[in-house]
């Protein structure tokens, strides 16, 4: 019984951060196999997939202030095959900070049906498997800079495996209105004050972005938040 409680607590901790659910974001229509297949996929290098292909969109705090997150490099840890070392940069308002940290893979899930919804892509024959991974990230900003803290939470990355056993960033359905990838959901906590606030980011869409994103075919910020860093979208 104690073991079951620990397992249940572990699953909750990696899927929900402050009431935010990363597992069920955007792709609820796909059924996954029940097994955690991390042992089968730990041999692959997800570095290139975790490095943003299209650039991140992000916000911080309840007023959806714009947070610009950049990953400069990601490399697989030489000793811990489930971990990746990250270096990057955060810009909030005019405050720029360097950060370093890790992403640790906790789950790898496969879809039962790997079908690609858009026939024109015609890539079904190249698919051996398709799914997502869930990881936990901790990114530490440079304490020598101003207004710094720690980003922490969970990340969801979509991937597919081809018939030559090569792992790919899954943008097969990039034309879909709800398409997204590299979804980061968590918090930022100040080193000096201990203040902890929500901070989420992702590619194409931002997880749990409430009424910030009113776009249909692509991300579009709600005009009421333009003054919170989204002003450059006003005339798009």
Phi, psi of 23 (to 5 degrees): -65, -40
Chain segment 56-115, per-residue pLDDT in tens: 999 999 999 999 999 999 999 999 999 999 999 999 999 999 999 999 999 999 998 766
pLDDT given for residue 207 in this prediction: 94
The domain limits of the chain are 2-233
pTM here is: 0.87
| Residue 58 DSSP label | E
Q: What's the average model confidence in pLDDT over 201-207?
A: 96
Chain segment 16-46, per-residue pLDDT in tens: 454 455 555 555 557 888 899 999 999 999 9
Rounded distance between C-alpha atoms, residue 223 and residue 200, angstroms: 19
The contacts of residue 86 (CB under 8 Å, 6+ apart) are: 50, 71, 73, 74, 99, 100, 101, 102, 103, 137, 139
């Amino acid at each position: 019984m104690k073991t079951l409680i620990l397992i249940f607590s572990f699953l909750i901790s990696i899927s929900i951060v402050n009431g935010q659910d990363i597992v069920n974001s955007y792709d609820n229509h796909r059924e996954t196999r029940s097994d955690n297949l991390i042992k089968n996929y730990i041999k692959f290098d997800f570095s290139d997939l975790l490095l943003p292909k299209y650039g991140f969109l992000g916000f911080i705090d309840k007023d959806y202030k714009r947070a610009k997150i950049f990953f400069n490099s990601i490399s697989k840890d030489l000793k811990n095959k489930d971990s990746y070392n990250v270096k990057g940069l955060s810009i909030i308002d005019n405050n720029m900070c360097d950060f370093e940290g890790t992403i640790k893979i906790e789950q790898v899930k496969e879809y039962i049906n790997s079908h690609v919804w858009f026939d024109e892509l015609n890539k079904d024959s190249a698919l051996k498997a398709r799914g997502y991974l869930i990881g936990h990230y901790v990114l530490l900003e440079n304490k020598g800079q101003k207004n710094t803290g720690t980003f922490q939470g969970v990340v969801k990355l979509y991937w597919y495996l081809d018939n030559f056993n090569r792992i790919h960033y899954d943008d097969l359905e990039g034309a879909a209105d709800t398409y997204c990838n590299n979804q980061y959901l968590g918090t930022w906590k100040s080193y000096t004050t201990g203040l902890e606030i929500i901070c989420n980011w992702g590619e194409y869409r931002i997880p749990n972005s409430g009424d910030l994103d009113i776009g249909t075919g692509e991300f579009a910020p709600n005009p009421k938040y333009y003054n919170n860093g989204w002003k450059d979208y006003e005339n798009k």
